[in-house]
């Protein structure tokens, strides 16, 4: 059953920001952007870190240090810990955090989840398999009272929003990528490449904004996480940018880059919102990219430490979506339009 949402704006004084430990650095950056947007007089918006402690038997204990009664609560959470992607453990943490927040008598709850796991499993592509994306959204929003909202970035498929019983603000990292590539002074003869047919809409939007050509890789899906490029639709210029929502182990991306080189590309970039960077077949993603000649531009929806970024700066550039998230929650709290964030893009 759907909750009823008020169109009235709420006071910034009613806000509370809480964050899981692994999301604290991201949440503090977002919090700074929120305070800047709010202006003078609102530097006292409460901010605290949730206590998440494991028991000896492997269970998880959660405690929120901040009073949430009759407050509009914004919960920031990520599904990686120290750069290690932990979707299952982190989902359980969020499940328990959700219960704690509701029992604390919050008025409204907004989850800021830069990346949500299991989104690629959004349909039955073979017999007797779950639609995991739907079940995960059910876990996130088990109850409709109090009213709840999700803020996230670049869902794998926009229609996954329909799996949720609450409003979902699906923000786009495209403006960050456009600003980055424009500031680098790239030559005008760039081709934006979609790694598969499913990503054409995203690649077409970027190509249009950059005044670039568009090409599409014809990809055949193999068992589990692998895929094999089979052909290329369109022409490729010497500089190519592959654009995708997520890079997992990077194997498919590297195969696509090899195909582009066969068709004349000499300088290859890739941009993705969610850089999971999982190891595969005994090789780390870092080793693959360091030797690939590809420059990857990603966002911090899967946070990385400063030490990691410094060690991998030869191939990885990370842009932060924290400012955009801070602006979005300011707009949500004050009743302003979130879509206005993307006006002009």
Catalytic residue among 126, 209, 219, 255: 219
End-to-end CA distance of the chain: 35
Q: Where are the alpha helices (DSSP H) in 167-211?
A: 174-183, 200-210
Buried b (16+ CB within 10 A) or exposed e, 321-335: bbbbbbbbbbbbbee
Q: Which residues, other chains included, contact 319 with Cβ-Cβ below 8 Å and sequence gap of 6+?
A: 173, 176, 177, 180, 297, 298, 299, 300
Regarding beta strands 267-275 and 295-299, do their DSSP bridges make them parallel or antiparallel, or are they unpaired? parallel
* DSSP strands (E only) in the chain: 15-19, 47-49, 51-54, 60-63, 72-76, 80-81, 84-85, 108-112, 148-153, 168-171, 190-194, 213-221, 227-233, 239-247, 267-275, 295-299, 316-319
Q: What span, in angstroms and rounded, lies between the C-alpha atoms of 224 and 220?
A: 12
Q: What span, in angstroms and rounded, lies between the C-alpha atoms of 261 and 275?
A: 23
Q: What span, in angstroms and rounded, lies between the C-alpha atoms of 143 and 257?
A: 44
For the question of residue 219 being annotated catalytic, the response is yes
Yes or no: say if 240 and 268 are a contact pair by the CB < 8 Å rule.
yes
Residue 212, Ramachandran bin (φ over 0: left; ψ between -120 and 50: alpha; else beta):
beta
Cβ atoms within 10 Å, residue 10:
16
- Residues designated catalytic: 219
């Amino acid at each position: 059953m759907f909750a009823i949402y008020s169109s009235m704006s709420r006071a910034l004084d009613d806000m509370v920001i809480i964050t899981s430990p692994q999301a604290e650095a991201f949440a503090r950056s977002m919090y700074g952007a929120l305070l800047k947007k709010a202006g003078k007089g609102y530097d006292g918006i409460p901010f605290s870190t949730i206590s998440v402690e494991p028991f000896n038997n492997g269970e998880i204990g959660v405690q929120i240090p901040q009073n949430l009664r009759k407050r509009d609560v914004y919960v920031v959470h990520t599904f990686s810990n120290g750069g290690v992607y932990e979707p299952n453990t982190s989902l359980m943490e969020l499940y328990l955090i959700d219960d704690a927040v509701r029992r604390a008598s919050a008025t409204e709850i907004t989850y800021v989840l830069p990346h949500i796991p299991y989104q690629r499993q959004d349909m039955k592509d073979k017999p007797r398999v779950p639609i995991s994306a739907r079940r995960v959204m059910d876990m996130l929003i088990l109850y409709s009272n109090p009213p709840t909202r999700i803020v996230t970035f670049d869902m794998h498929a926009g229609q996954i929003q329909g799996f949720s019983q609450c409003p979902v603000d699906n923000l786009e990292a495209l403006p960050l990528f456009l600003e980055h590539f424009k500031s680098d002074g790239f030559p005008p003869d760039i081709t934006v490449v979609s790694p598969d047919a499913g990503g054409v809409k995203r690649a077409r939007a970027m190509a249009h904004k950059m005044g670039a050509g568009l090409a599409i890789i014809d990809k055949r899906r193999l068992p589990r996480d692998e895929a094999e490029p089979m052909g290329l639709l369109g022409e490729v210029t010497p500089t190519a940018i592959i654009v995708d929502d997520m890079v997992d182990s990077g194997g498919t991306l590297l195969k696509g880059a090899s195909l582009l080189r066969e068709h004349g590309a000499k300088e290859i970039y890739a941009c993705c919102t969610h850089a999971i960077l999982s190891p595969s077949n005994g090789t780390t993603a870092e080793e693959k990219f360091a030797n690939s000649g590809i420059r990857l531009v990603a966002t911090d929806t899967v946070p990385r430490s400063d030490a990691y970024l410094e060690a991998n700066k030869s191939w990885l550039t990370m842009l932060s979506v924290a400012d955009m998230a801070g602006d979005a929650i300011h707009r949500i709290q004050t009743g302003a339009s979130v879509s206005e964030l993307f006006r002009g893009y």
